[in-house]
């Protein structure tokens, strides 16, 4: 089983994260931000990556540190669980509909972190969560795992549907990318023979 545990404590947050890439989508999430919990739970359920994530953060300041550090810790755990990435699909993509909304996500676990974000929200908050932080969450997890990540809102009006479609699309794309392809055996999915954070090319 490809598993990892990350603990991260700073003056801003105290985090414990566990992941199992070969899980069933089981989750236990407590960040102190209800809508962020809901989105991480959606990511777990639809990626089939088991996630335990508990955070005590400085929410009396604002939500930035908690949101950012949740993505960093989950991303670091996924990166550790992936190891040398032998046999993985590496690439993933999904078009994710939710009622009137359609989001498209494509990614490459390339070792070259990059986020292209083409989505916007028409209201500043969902529940108690600042909508400007969604882009930052995805930027942080892309950096932590080493993902080239493209997220595009094709159309949609309801802000809840927009956020959920994006997270579900990310989940489905990650499921494809982290799953082992039996035809690849233990081969690294790169002509360079190595995939790691900061690796140029692949």
Structural domains in the chain, sorted by start? 3-178 (3.30.230.40)
E strand segments, 10-49: 13-20, 27-30
pLDDT per residue as tens digits for the range 91-123: 999 999 999 999 999 999 999 999 999 999 999
- pLDDT score recorded for residue 202: 42
- pLDDT score recorded for residue 82: 96
- pLDDT score recorded for residue 97: 98
- pLDDT score recorded for residue 156: 98
Residues (pLDDT < 50) of the chain are 198-202
- pLDDT score recorded for residue 190: 63
Closest CA to 74 of 167, 191, 155, 161: 167
State the pTM of this model: 0.92
């Amino acid at each position: 089983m490809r598993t990892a545990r990350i603990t991260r404590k700073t003056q801003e947050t105290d985090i414990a994260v566990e992941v199992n890439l070969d899980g069933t989508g089981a989750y236990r999430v407590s960040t102190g931000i209800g809508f962020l919990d809901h989105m991480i739970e959606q990511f777990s359920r639809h990626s089939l990556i088991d996630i335990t994530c508990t955070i005590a953060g400085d929410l009396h300041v604002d939500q930035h540190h908690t949101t950012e550090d949740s993505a960093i810790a989950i991303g670091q755990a996924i990166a550790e669980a992936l190891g040398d990435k032998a046999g993985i699909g590496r690439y993933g993509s999904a078009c994710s509909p939710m009622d009137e909304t359609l989001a498209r996500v494509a990614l490459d676990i390339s070792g070259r972190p990059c986020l292209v974000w083409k989505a916007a929200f028409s209201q500043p908050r969902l529940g108690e969560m600042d909508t400007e932080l969604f882009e930052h969450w995805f930027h942080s997890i892309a950096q932590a795992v080493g993902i080239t990540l493209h997220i595009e809102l094709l159309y949609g009006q309801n802000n809840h549907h927009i956020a959920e479609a994006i997270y579900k699309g990310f989940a489905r794309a990650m499921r494809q990318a982290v799953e082992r392809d039996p035809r690849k055996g233990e081969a690294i999915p790169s002509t360079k023979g190595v995939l790691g954070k900061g690796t140029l090319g692949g």
